[in-house]
Amino acid sequence: MEIKVELTKNPKEKVPADNLGFGNVFSDHMFIMDYKTDKGWHNARIVPYSSISYEPAIMVFHYGQAIFEGLKAYRTEKGEVVLFRPEENFKRLNASCDALCIPRIDEDFALKALLKLLSIDKSWVPDAPGTSLYIRPFIIATEPHIGVHPAGSYHFIIITGPVGAYYKEGLNPVKIYVETKYVRAVVGGLGEAKASANYAASLRAQMEAEKKGYTQVLWLDGIERKYVEEVGTMNVFFVIGDEIVTPMLTGSILPGITRKSCIELLRSWGLKIIERKISIEEIYQAHEKGLLKEAFGTGTAAVISPIGELCWNDKKIILSDGKIGELSQKLYDELTGIQYTRKPDLFNWIVKVE
């Protein structure tokens, strides 16, 4: 399929790196493609970033058929622009399509479209340390209709924007509240899809945790409130004795690409990394025995986010003396080293933008 291009006549001013924050600034162009039942995906185009008008009846507003992805483009020291495992994002986008009865996209074409968009907006990839261009592909149901069933029309859109750190803490450890009242997802639901609904479901717990002075919540399973699932919007790892444990993908946990990359790196370093169910009780017991060395979240946005404190039913524990753990730092250095091409790409994870 051909991708039509309409360039902006009013390029926007770039925002200085110190003022970027995360998710506030958007590049000059966006990619957009339409779907209709009788035509399939069609009308692929790159156009100036702008508002889009929709009828109030479109189905995403009512029944939430919305999925998204998140990845980043990095400016290397040589001035090149690269992506980290982008094919994994489009593969997962299709898995999310299946979960929400959204028609699949052609993954190779989506990557081609992204590369074309980035070649047009390359100047938007910032070069200050710790900055990158966040890429947000998403699909929404655009059929104006009020009956509950999968929509017959969709938009697949990719927007991008320069970002700094996701958490104000950066790599500094965050305080985490173990959530025992609200749940993020249950097995059989949407938990393993990157569905916007999962993020809507997380907001109330997040707000209440913040009011109590915590940065994020640790999610437990939706049935027993026993097994650890995720932390905030990230996957989670615990270092217990000489083992590293991360919750196995049961169906209610997002299969994170940073999670997968950490597992592959840890294995390649000869470390014992285990995917299994792990209860919050086991984590507290390991802490009591002096075996809990560190814990951290993994995600595209923050990369690695060390956990400095946990609070479960009013019982507070401090991890790694509230400092950045050794393994958190090592994984962060390795991942960002590969992403900014300061370190060799032994796994072929890097895709160059021409």
CB of 2 to ligand COI, least distance (A): 32
Size of the site for ligand COI (CB under 6 A): 7
Q: Decide if residue 137 touches ligand COI (CB under 6 A).
A: no
Is the Cα torsion angle 93, 94, 99, 101 positive or negative in sign?
Answer: positive
Length of the chain, please? Answer: 354
The CA R_g of the chain, rounded to the nearest whole Å, is 21
Report d(CA 350, CA 331) in Å as an integer. 17
Toward ligand COI, which CB reaches closer, 44 or 73? Answer: 73
Reported as type and span, the H/E element at residue 268 is helix 257-268
Q: Is 255 in the site for ligand COI (CB under 6 A)?
A: no
233 binds ligand COI (CB under 6 A): yes
Say whether residue 162 binds ligand COI (CB under 6 A): no
Q: Among 65, 96, 153, 300, indicate the residue that binds ligand COI (CB under 6 A).
A: 300
Of positions 48, 70, 144, 170, contacts ligand COI by CB under 6 A: 70
Determine if 218 is a binding residue for ligand COI (CB under 6 A).
no
Minimum CB separation from ligand COI for residue 333, in Å? 19
Nearer to ligand COI, 151 or 302 (CB): 302
Task: Give min distance, CB of 250 to ligand COI, in A.
Answer: 19
- Helix, strand, coil percentages for the chain (3-state, nearest 5): 25, 30, 40
> β-strands 228-231, 216-220: how paired?
antiparallel
Q: Which is nearer to ligand COI, 222 or 299 (CB)?
A: 299
Q: Is the Cβ–Cβ distance between 173 and 309 less than 8 Å? A: yes
| Residue least distant from ligand COI (Cβ) | 299
Sole binder of ligand COI in the list 301, 304, 335, 338 (CB under 6 A): 301
Buried b (16+ CB within 10 A) or exposed e, 19-51: ebebeebbbbbbbbbbbeeeeebeebbbeeeee
Q: Please, which residue, 92 or 175, has the CB nearer to ligand COI?
A: 92
3-state SS, 74-102, equals EECCCCCEEEECHHHHHHHHHHHHHHCCC
Q: Is 278 in the site for ligand COI (CB under 6 A)?
A: no
Binding site for ligand COI (CB under 6 A): 70, 233-234, 299-302
